[in-house]
Each structure stands twice: as C-alpha cells, then as structure tokens.
C-alpha cells in the first residue's frame, strides 16, 4: 500500500498502528523466552502479561480469562474443539458466521445445524428458542455460535439475548468478536458469552496473533500439546512480539471507543445515501444495528470482481467480501443466507478504521460512481434503489 492509495479494507486487515509497531520492535529486542526464569525470561513474561491485561480490558474480562492464540481462526477452533471434547454432539451455527467457525464446526465430527437470519442478516431468536426447547439431551449440551458483528455487512447480532436462551438450556455460547473488537464496546460478562475470539490485526495490531476469552462455564481442552504455556491451554513458545503489538493496539483501540463510531457512521451513511440516489445500489443490512465504518452494497449487473478491479485502478482499496477465500472472488455466502441470492454476485464491502478520514469515503464514492457510469454506458440500465431487509 502506497501513500497514494485510499485504504478502505479494514475488515480484511487494519494498517498497523504506530504504537503497535513500536511495541513489536521493543519486544524483539527483549530477546528472552517468557518461560525462562532468568532476567531476560522475566522481562519477556512481563511483556506478555501486560499485553494480556490490555487485551482483557478491550474484551471486558479479567486477564486470567485470556489465552493467546495464532489468530481469530485458532481461537474459534479452540472453542469448537473444546466444546466437542466436553460432549457436544450437535453444533448450532448462525448462517452468517465467519468461514472459520462454519468450516471448523463441519470438521469437528459433530453434526452442524444452521441458525437462520432475516433479510437484514439478524439471527432469528424465535427460531433459537424453539430449537433449544426441543433439544435432545443425547446430543450433549447445546453449543451455539453467534458472531458479535458480521465481517461482510457489519450487522451487530443480539448476543446477550441469545446468551440468555443458551444458558437456560445449559449450553455453551461462542462469540466471534473479531470484527467487533475496537469498533464497539465489549463486556464479556454482560454479553453472556462462554468463549469469545479476538484478532490483533483487525484493530491495528500485527498479523498472526489472537486470543480466546473464556468464562468459568467453558471447559477448554488444548489442541496443541507438549508444553505448559498459556496455563497449559496452548503449547508452544509465545509469539512475544506479536502479543506485545496486540496489547498496544488493544490499549489504543479501547481509548478511542468513546468518540469514533458516530463519525464513522455519518461518513458511511452520507456515501450510502449518495450511491443509492445516484446509482440505485442496494445497501445490505440496512435497518439493523451495524458497525459504523462498514458499508456493504450491491449493484445488480456490476460484478463484484469488476468493482474491486475498477476501484484498485482508481487507487481505492476495497473488497468483495470476506478476505479468507484464497484471493478468489465468489458470490457472498452471507448475502445468500440473508435471502438475497440475486445480489450475491454483485456485492462490494467498504470498511474504514482507525486512520480513515471523511475524504477517504468521498474519494471512494467519486471513484465508484465514475466506474459505475462507465459500466452503465457499456451495458445498459441502472437498477432501482432498494434497501435489503428494510
């Protein structure tokens, strides 16, 4: 990424914060193994534990409830693995979960059941209540996965309400909070989650480090064996530099929570209104609570990959949806689950973050509208404006 680019793909990865970069460099210079008892080892351990405090503060839990992992994917996998080891035989996964949760559940050996969402992308609580009310105890305690905020649409899910239903059924609720962290306040206890996953690079920390927060009801079982690191829950020498950067990013991100979202929402909504009025785009998730810096739109007939390419040529970096599909652009599974299959091949995700400015959104709108005008000139009529799920 160059200085000339406008970066609006924070949901894929956020640019590293200067504070996190400095923490990484400082940790590399410490040089010790956090498990060593000599001075260098103790210094390294102090770095890890300070970061644990900072990440715990961002998640709204105690530091003793944090286990560091290689990222959000491993944190999700650890929760699923542990639930199955604890006896879960059927896993309920919301239809718009991140691929690492859905694929992890499908690979677990347990049966997987999809929990439907409405046209806005919000999980159906009535369905969950009915399903848990008919639960077969022979399938073990229910395991339910519901992300806090969706990675493609930014839709915020009713996690606390779902948690109450899951607890009434003596189940385990796992919350993927990877996209929500640093963008909305998180209180682990108030959410009612049993496990909750986080990732450093979504909040301006380094890639390759994450964490799982866990409560007293969650019985974690390590999937990496052979060492006593992370209280015996994850063998292997800790990623000292990555953890240090994670802690620094978490600390700064938490300090920004009180003032950033209103501005993000205003910038996004102004651009969305302009694109609806001038190009008839569909806004996905409209009418549901959403993260302020995420805009998911669809322009029927204007293929996702062409939109991404045109924006790239204009120096604006956005994506067609989740960035976890090996660089392939394919119809959005999330939009299909929302009941908008006809829009799935035409989705674009625009996401800002800690270094985004209002003019970045304006430049995106100008570039997108210019590209769309060229597309209409070549291919014909524009769609009528609509709001998906409204």
Is pLDDT above 80 for 257? yes
pLDDT for residue 331: 84
Task: Please report, rounded to a whole number, the percentage of residues in the chain having pLDDT higher than 70.
Answer: 94
Residue range 213-228, pLDDT digits in tens: 999 999 999 999 988 8
Q: Phi then psi for 179, rounded to 5 degrees?
A: -80, -25
How far apart (Å, rounded) are the C-alpha atoms in residues 242 and 47?
11
Percent of the chain topping pLDDT 90: 89
pLDDT tens-digit readout, 352-365: 999 999 999 999 99
Residue 276 to residues 55, 120, 266, 335, 357, Cα–Cα distance (Å): 39, 17, 15, 18, 21
* Residue pLDDT, tens place only, 192-210: 999 999 999 999 999 999 9
Residue ranges covered by each domain of the chain: 6-14+259-387, 18-252
pLDDT tens-digit series, residues 1-18 = 666 899 999 999 999 999
Quick check: 354 and 326 in contact, CB under 8 A? no
| Per-position DSSP letters for 233-278, written without gaps between them | TS-S---HHHHHHHHHHHHHHHHHHHHHHHHHHHHHHHHHHHHHHH
Query: Catalytic site residues?
Result: 324
Mean of pLDDT values over 308-321: 95
Residue 258 is predicted with a pLDDT of 79
CB atoms closer than 10 angstroms to residue 270: 14
Read off the pLDDT band of 390 (50, 70, 90).
very low
Provide the pLDDT confidence category of residue 388 given band limits of 50, 70 and 90: low
Does residue 25 surpass a pLDDT of 80? yes
- pLDDT tens track for 152-205: 999 999 999 999 999 999 999 999 999 999 999 999 999 999 999 999 999 999
pLDDT at 385: 46
Q: Which CATH number fits domain 18-252: 3.40.640.10, 2.40.160.10, 3.30.70.1350, 3.40.50.300?
A: 3.40.640.10
Phi, then psi, of 41 in degrees rounded to 5: -65, -40
Cα–Cα distances in Å, from 176 out to 96, 183, 309? 11, 14, 30
Q: Which tokens is 311 given? A: 């924006």
List beta partners, residue 369: none
Identify the architecture of domain 6-14+259-387 in CATH. Answer: Alpha-Beta Complex (3.90)
Is residue 264's pLDDT more than 60? yes
């Amino acid at each position: 990424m160059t200085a000339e680019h406008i970066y609006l793909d924070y949901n894929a990865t956020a640019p590293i914060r200067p504070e996190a970069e400095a923490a990484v460099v400082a940790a590399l210079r410490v040089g010790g193994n956090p498990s060593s008892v000599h001075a260098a080892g103790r210094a390294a351990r102090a770095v890890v534990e300070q970061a644990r405090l900072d990440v715990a503060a961002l998640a709204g839990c105690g530091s003793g409830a944090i286990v560091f992992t290689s990222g959000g994917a491993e944190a999700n996998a650890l929760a699923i693995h542990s639930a199955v080891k604890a006896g879960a035989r059927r896993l309920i996964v919301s239809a718009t979960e991140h691929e690492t949760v859905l694929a992890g559940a499908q690979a677990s050996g347990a049966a997987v059941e999809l929990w439907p969402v409405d046209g806005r992308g919000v999980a159906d609580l009535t369905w969950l209540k009915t399903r848990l009310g008919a639960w077969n105890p022979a399938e073990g305690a229910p395991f339910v996965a519901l992300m806090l905020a969706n990675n493609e649409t930014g839709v915020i899910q009713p996690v606390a309400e779902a948690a109450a239903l899951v607890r009434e059924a003596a189940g385990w609720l796992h919350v993927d909070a990877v996209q929500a962290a640093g963008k909305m306040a998180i209180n682990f206890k108030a959410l009612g989650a049993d496990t909750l996953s986080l990732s450093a690079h979504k909040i301006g920390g380094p890639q390759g480090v994450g964490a799982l927060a866990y409560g007293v009801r969650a019985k974690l079982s390590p999937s990496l064996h052979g060492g006593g690191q992370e209280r015996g829950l994850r063998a292997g020498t800790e990623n000292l530099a990555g953890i240090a950067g994670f802690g620094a990013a978490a600390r700064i991100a938490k300090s920004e929570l009180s003032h950033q979202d209103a501005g993000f929402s205003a910038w996004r909504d102004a651009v969305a209104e302009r694109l609806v009025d001038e190009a008839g785009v569909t806004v996905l998730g409209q009418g549901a609570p959403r993260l302020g810096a995420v805009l998911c739109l669809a322009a029927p007939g204007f293929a996702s990959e062409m939109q991404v390419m045109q924006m790239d040529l204009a120096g604006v970096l956005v994506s067609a949806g989740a960035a976890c599909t090996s660089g392939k652009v394919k119809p959005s599974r999330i939009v299909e689950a929302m009941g908008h299959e006809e829009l799935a091949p035409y989705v674009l995700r625009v996401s800002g973050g800690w270094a985004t400015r209002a003019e970045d959104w304006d430049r995106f709108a100008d570039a997108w509208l210019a590209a769309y005008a060229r597309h209409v000139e070549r291919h014909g009529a524009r769609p009528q404006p609509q709001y998906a799920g409204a």
